């Protein structure tokens, strides 16, 4: 699996891990301008570290759903092109705005990913739809935001079993979400994100 241009494995205090070049955001280690990308704090980071074929090469236009305080999306903006970051909670949005101050290609949007009409006038067609939302109806969010994804683009998604159904068997929850996704997407690859994230499934899909 080839890492995107702008993402490298660097050594930090004797430990080798993913890194991007940019201003630090969440107290991560920094060496010679490279900031450590902690896969235990990032679903996309764990997907890359586990060798999933994300299709990322660098420079893509990205729509990121569930940006929170900017931990992952700041790394994405370090190597991607225009990066639209949707977050609905005001408190993490303040941190996200601070992360964007050092990244002119990162555009924070205080919006609800379940309501893409509210930002359809802002977001251009994108190459990559990245989704990391903690809510029921995760497949519905991905389907609703399919409108922004180019026909040859990719969905990179982390399904959170406990957000979908806190008592359900994770494997059954994953399969239910994947069945819903198949209404609009062709599933290319799935991988459990352990040991970094319990009861999470990384998904790579393309528009059907």
pLDDT of 65-91, one tens digit each?
999 999 999 999 999 999 999 999 999
Q: What is the pLDDT of residue 82?
A: 98
The per-residue pLDDT for range 167-177, each reduced to its tens digit, is 999 999 999 99
What's the whole-number mean pLDDT along residues 151-179? 97
Q: What is the pLDDT of residue 1?
A: 66
Provide the sign of the torsion angle of the four alpha carbons 182, 79, 112, 43, taken in this order: positive
Vertex 149 angle, CA 50 and 193, to 5°: 20
What does the block give as tokens for 1? Answer: 């699996």
What's the whole-number mean pLDDT along residues 142-164? 97
Three-class DSSP labels, the chain? CCCCCCEEEEEECCEEEEEEECCCCCCCCEECCEEECCHHHCHHHHHHHCCCCCCCCCCCCEEEECCCCCHHHHHHHHHCCCEEEEECCHHHHHHHHHHHHCCCCEEEEECCCCCHHHHCCCCCCEEEEEECCCCCCHHHHHHHHHHHEEEEEEEEEEEEHHHHCCCCCHHHHHHHHHHHHCCCEEEEEEEECCCCCCCEEEEEEEEC
Examine residue 19 and state whether it is found in any structural domain, yes or no: no
Residue 55 has pLDDT above 80, yes or no: yes
Residue 112 has pLDDT above 90, yes or no: yes
Query: What range defines the domain where residue 188 resides?
Result: 38-207
Mean pLDDT, the chain, whole residue set = 97
Examine residue 141 and state whether it is found in any structural domain, yes or no: yes
Residue 200 has pLDDT above 80, yes or no: yes
What's the whole-number mean pLDDT along residues 138-146? 98
Residue 195: cis peptide before it, omega within 30 degrees of 0: yes
Examine residue 103 and state whether it is found in any structural domain, yes or no: yes
Examine residue 21 and state whether it is found in any structural domain, yes or no: no
pTM: 0.96
Q: What is the pLDDT of residue 2?
A: 84
Q: How many domains, in total, are found in the chain?
A: 1
Examine residue 95 and state whether it is found in any structural domain, yes or no: yes
Residue 102: give its domain's CATH number. 3.40.50.150
Residue 60 has pLDDT above 90, yes or no: yes
Residue 30 has pLDDT above 80, yes or no: yes
Of 15, 34, 123, 31, the closest CA to residue 75 belongs to: 34
Examine residue 104 and state whether it is found in any structural domain, yes or no: yes
Examine residue 179 and state whether it is found in any structural domain, yes or no: yes
Q: Which residue has the tokens 């759903």?
A: 65
Q: What is the pLDDT of residue 76?
A: 98
Examine residue 102 and state whether it is found in any structural domain, yes or no: yes
């Amino acid at each position: 699996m080839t890492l995107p241009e702008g993402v490298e494995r660097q050594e930090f205090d004797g430990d080798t891990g993913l890194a991007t070049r940019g201003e630090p955001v969440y107290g991560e280690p920094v060496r010679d301008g490279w900031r450590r990308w902690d896969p235990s704090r990032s679903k996309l980071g764990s997907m890359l570290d586990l060798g999933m074929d994300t299709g990322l090469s660098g420079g893509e236009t990205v729509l990121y759903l569930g940006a929170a305080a900017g931990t992952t999306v700041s790394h994405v903006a370090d190597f991607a092109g225009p990066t639209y970051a949707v977050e609905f909670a005001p408190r993490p949005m303040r941190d996200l705005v601070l992360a964007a101050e050092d990244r002119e290609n990162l555009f924070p949007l205080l919006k609800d990913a379940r309501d893409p009409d509210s930002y359809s006038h802002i977001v251009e067609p994108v190459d990559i739809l990245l989704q990391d939302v903690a809510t029921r109806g995760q497949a519905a969010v991905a389907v609703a935001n399919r409108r922004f994804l180019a026909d040859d683009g990719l969905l990179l998604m982390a399904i959170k079993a406990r957000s979908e159904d806190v008592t359900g068997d994770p494997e059954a929850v994953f399969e239910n979400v994947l069945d819903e996704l198949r209404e609009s997407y062709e599933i290319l690859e799935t991988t459990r994100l352990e040991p970094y994230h319990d009861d999470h499934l990384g998904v790579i899909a393309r528009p059907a």
